[in-house]
Amino acid sequence: MRVITFGTFDVFHVGHVNILERAKLQGVHLIVGVSSDNLNLEKKTRYPIYSEDDRQHIISSLRCVDEVFLEQSLELKAEYIKKYNADILVMGDDWQGKFDHLKDLCKVIYLPRTPSVSTTEIIEVVKTK
């Protein structure tokens, strides 16, 4: 089974490792769409701290990850699922229900987020030190 997941993975932290390792366990091949810098500007109205090249580099170095590509638009999930032949889409449960319309293309699974860790909080803590 081929698993696909998406995310920015900025200021990489343990919550990111946890979701990627658990995504991999759903199948045998894990494909990760790393959100582009421009997509983040649209979504979070700021550029990520780490560039899209560095974020892709970090994700592709992980043992649980088999393939990485740049996610250029949130609207292209169906195209990416088809292009990469994914059987399962995994997302964190902050996206619960948001991708149910893709269920006729592949299985959609939402996994619980790791509590008490987020990039936004890390940035805030570092700012005040």
Please tell me the count of residues contacting ligand C2G according to CB under 6 A: 19
The Cα–Cα gap between 107 and 35 comes to 21
The Cα–Cα gap between 45 and 126 comes to 20
Q: How far is the CB of 1 from ligand C2G (least distance, A)?
A: 18
Which one of residues 71, 86, 88, 106 is an interface residue with ligand C2G (CB under 6 A)? 71
Indicate the residue among 16 and 24 with the shorter CB distance to ligand C2G: 16
Piece in contact with ligand C2G (CB under 6 A), picked from 15-23, 24-32, 60-68, 79-87: 15-23
Residue 8 binds to ligand C2G (criterion: CB under 6 A): yes
The Cα–Cα gap between 67 and 29 comes to 8
In angstroms, what CA-CA distances link 110 with 5, 34, 41, 58, 121? 10, 18, 25, 23, 23
Which one of residues 3, 4, 9, 50 is an interface residue with ligand C2G (CB under 6 A)? 9
Q: Yes or no: say if 10 and 49 are a contact pair by the CB < 8 Å rule.
A: yes
Which one of residues 16, 27, 68, 81 is an interface residue with ligand C2G (CB under 6 A)? 16
Q: Yes or no: say if 9 and 58 are a contact pair by the CB < 8 Å rule.
A: yes
Provide the binding-site residues for ligand C2G, judged by CB under 6 A.
6-10, 15-16, 18-19, 35, 71, 74, 91-92, 94, 113-114, 117-118
